[in-house]
Amino acid sequence: MQETANLYGVSESTLYRALNEHNRPKPLRRSDYGKPRILPADEMEMYCEIIAAMKIRTSNKKSRHLSTTECIRLLQDFGLDTPKGFFKADPGQLKKTTVNHYLKL
């Protein structure tokens, strides 16, 4: 170890520290697991509430309703007027898989 430390011009403790970091296992999940990366959590929750309300309002007697993709398209293209105000999502901001994931939660 001493020869290797001299070869690289560092102390033995620095070399041991580097080797200790090298052998550590990687975490299984990202540090931001469960948090939306594109939007803040409260904004994502608001959009999911709007989409869920659109699905409920458009359901018929056979429990058919608008798809998540269609709800997102309507929200992006035209927007939606709610009691809290007018909401229109930016294009590319909401994805079907992300919205479905948060709707399930």
| Tokens, residue 94 | 């909401």
Q: Per-residue pLDDT averaged across 67-74, rounded?
A: 94
pTM: 0.70
Is the per-residue pLDDT at 23 higher than 80?
A: no
At 42-62, the pLDDT tens digits run: 999 999 999 999 999 999 989
Report which of residues 104 and 37 the model is more confident about.
104
| SS3 state of residue 26 | coil
Domain spans, the chain: 1-33, 41-104
- Whose tokens are 């079907």? That residue is 96
Question: Can you give the pLDDT at residue 37?
Answer: 84
CA distance 36 to 25: 25
User: Is residue 34 very low, low, confident or very high in pLDDT (cuts 50, 70, 90)?
Assistant: confident
Long-range pairs of 74-82 with CB within 8 A, sequence gap ≥ 24: 75/47, 75/50, 75/51, 80/50, 80/54, 82/50
